[in-house]
């Protein structure tokens, strides 16, 4: 016959195991969220722009730059290709906090986003977030079996 103390110990172990399982699934969904952000980034930084037409340096080809307020146009493709995605998770008093992070490795991405004294901003972070958010919400609203 088991004593109440041992039974409560088994219950605590069962709850702890369930919490660990849910935390693992939440953290793994962070990877899916990073992928959703990356897909949104590729869409936002794709397509034609409506700014001035320039000649590409050292070539005869031309490209259309982005107008102020539009996401940056693609000239070399470096901004679209150089992103680093990570999932950060930490325990809080009330559970697990999962953060999906996608950041550009291009040093000039901040200049494009915020502008400079010689160039108006070409914001892309907010459009990426807005495009990715419905998919991220879908990912995290799925049941935790």
User: 8-50: per-residue pLDDT in tens?
Assistant: 667 777 777 887 888 888 888 999 999 999 999 999 999 889 9
User: What's the whole-number average pLDDT of the chain?
Assistant: 88
Q: What does residue 5 show for φ and ψ, rounded to 5 degrees?
A: -65, -45
SS3 state at 15: helix
Higher per-residue confidence, 2 vs 26: 26
């Amino acid at each position: 016959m088991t004593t109440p103390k041992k039974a409560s110990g088994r219950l605590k172990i069962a709850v702890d195991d369930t919490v660990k399982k849910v935390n693992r699934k939440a953290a793994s969904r962070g990877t899916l969220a990073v992928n959703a952000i990356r897909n949104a980034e590729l869409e936002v930084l794709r397509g034609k722009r409506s700014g001035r037409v320039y000649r590409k340096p050292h070539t005869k080809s031309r490209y259309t730059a982005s107008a102020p307020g539009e996401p940056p146009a693609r000239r070399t493709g470096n901004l679209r290709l150089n992103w680093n995605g990570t999932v950060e998770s930490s325990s809080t008093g009330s559970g697990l906090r999962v953060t999906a992070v996608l950041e550009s490795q291009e040093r000039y991405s901040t200049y494009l986003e915020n502008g400079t004294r010689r160039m108006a901003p070409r914001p892309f972070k907010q459009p990426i977030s807005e495009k990715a958010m419905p998919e991220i919400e879908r990912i995290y609203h799925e049941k935790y079996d």
